Structure 1
Amino acid sequence: MGPEAIRGEIASHSSAIFKLLEVVTFLNGRECRYLEERDDARRELQLLGKKLE
Structure 2
Amino acid sequence: MKNRKRQRENKKLKSKEEMLDKRNGCGIKDLTAYNAVLQIRTQGKAAIVLK
TM-score by length of 2: 0.36
TM-score by length of 1: 0.35
The structure with the larger Rg is 1
Bigger helix share: 1
Point out which structure has higher relative CO (alpha carbons under 8 A, 6+ apart): 2
